[in-house]
Structure 1
Amino acid sequence: MQEKQYTVALSIAGSDSGGGAGIQADIKTMSALGVFATTAITAVTAQNTCGVRLVQAMPPEVVRAQIEAVLEDMSVRAIKIGMLFSTPIIEAVAAALKPYAAEIPIVLDPVMIAQSGDPLIREEAIEAMKALLFPLTTLITPNLPEFAALLGEAFDEEQPSHSMEAWLQWGAKAVLIKGGHSHDTSRVIDYLLLTEQQQVQRFESPRIATTNTHGTGCTLSSAIAAFLAYGYDTIEAVRRAKEYLTQALKQGAERRLGKGAGPVHHFHAFWENINLKKVGSDF
């Protein structure tokens, strides 16, 4: 009998003790989409739905060792990068990924500020991220505040192609500008800039009325990585990931966790159909 193979992805990100964002959100998202999630933890945070209390970075050599251990042994089909925190960690990640960047798609979510407003990267590390990681990535996924911080100007929805030149200078192949922070109360519009093709793709979805939005950026970027791992191109991977996130937001709006911003419902396609009387009956 022929052995079945897992579709494997790697998440390089920080740990969220509240389970709604970071490495925990990445594992849940990839698992919900049928992808085997491997991890390299860059930092440990003490946080909940109300905010971040503490950030403890991992030693850079430990971060690099985790990445190399996974890549040397498993057939990783896509990589997602989240919270990086410091320049030494960015240098370690770049060194570990450089030999693989040409063959494995890499999605970089430039996590800079938590939803609560707490900083998740040191200011001096931002330039290192641009210089060392942007050229290695298949797709970068900034939200509107992150876009403004990286580019030094607000995103112009009237002329979305205006920003391509700057991203090209940093070596970015594609950039997804997430519109969740816009003032439009009825819809969310994301723009995918395919820099080398000088092309803009527009994705529109209904805005879900919910405060349970913790981890949306992590969830979207890891979903994109999951679909890239299946072999979809960037445009189709983004489209499918957005559909997944929209449903996770919609189903998560009906639930309550904690006193602040709760998470999206990563397993919305499964939990509603669980028969607790049958769980474990096959073991």
Structure 2
Amino acid sequence: MEDATTTLADRDGSRVHLLVKDVDALTSQDEFLRKIHKITGEAHIDSSHGHNGDYWAGSNGGNGNGSLFPYFDLNVPRNVTTAVGQSAFLHCRVEHLGDKAVSWIRKRDLHILTAGVLTYTSDQRFQVIRPDRSGNWTLLIKFPQKRDTGIYECQVNTEPKMSLAFWLNVIESKATILGGSEVYVRRGSSVTLNCVISQGPHDLGTVFWYRGSSPLHSGPHLQIDTHWTDGLTSKLTIPSALPTHSGNYSCVPTTADSASVNVHVINGEHPAAMQHGNNAWTRAVSTSCLTLCTSIIVSVIIFR
């Protein structure tokens, strides 16, 4: 448990130091403020206890009018994961801001990204979103890349400075179609393609299927089932394959790189190759080639 020493300015300008026990046991900054005001009555909180702004920080200028100083709302996500190219939002909420200003800082190089509603970087992917008369100061990062991974600080220009750290993790998310890149099936057989996106933010969007450039949808001759398990999984099933179903099939997620396979529907000359992917087909083709080559050699020898 942590204690907090807070300096209070009374109406006559005198100052007292208040020790609040077990501040970590308090569930919110509002609860902390209520505890102080219950003890002290009307008092103006003038400075923080050195918890780097995680509970409160800063000054209202010492006007002694009983107004509250700024503090962060901690009920916001501070560990944010997004995929490459998917916009990221870091939500910072400051209560009782008064005449103070909010800035966003990139921790790795201490670069000021925004100050107030203005952008202070030439990288136009960064922007602050702040609705009128709102305590929300949201940093928007458009088209994030892996290099954008790191710590970002929401700061308030109090004395001492308030800051709240946010961690942004930008990952490369990619779809995978289970099995080989070449699928061979016999005419009339069932074809099932399983597309999995297991790495990425919790909201992975959805998946679209294409044959060539044509979008596919569930119907009498084709079913698509997309659901969450350990990741996002989409299953495409053709109950009875025809030669017209041959082609390149692509699994295209909204938040990840796509994956594709080639489906070949054949008449079953090589049953051993069915449903076993490219390796079985290669073995069947190799055996056929070996038989054909042997026949040619024997024919040459006989006719000589």
Please report the TM-score for the alignment, with normalisation by the length of structure 2.
0.18
Structure number having the greater strand percentage: 2
Structure number having the greater helix percentage: 1
Please report the TM-score for the alignment, with normalisation by the length of structure 1.
0.19
Q: Which has the higher contact order (CA 8 A, sep 6+)?
A: 1
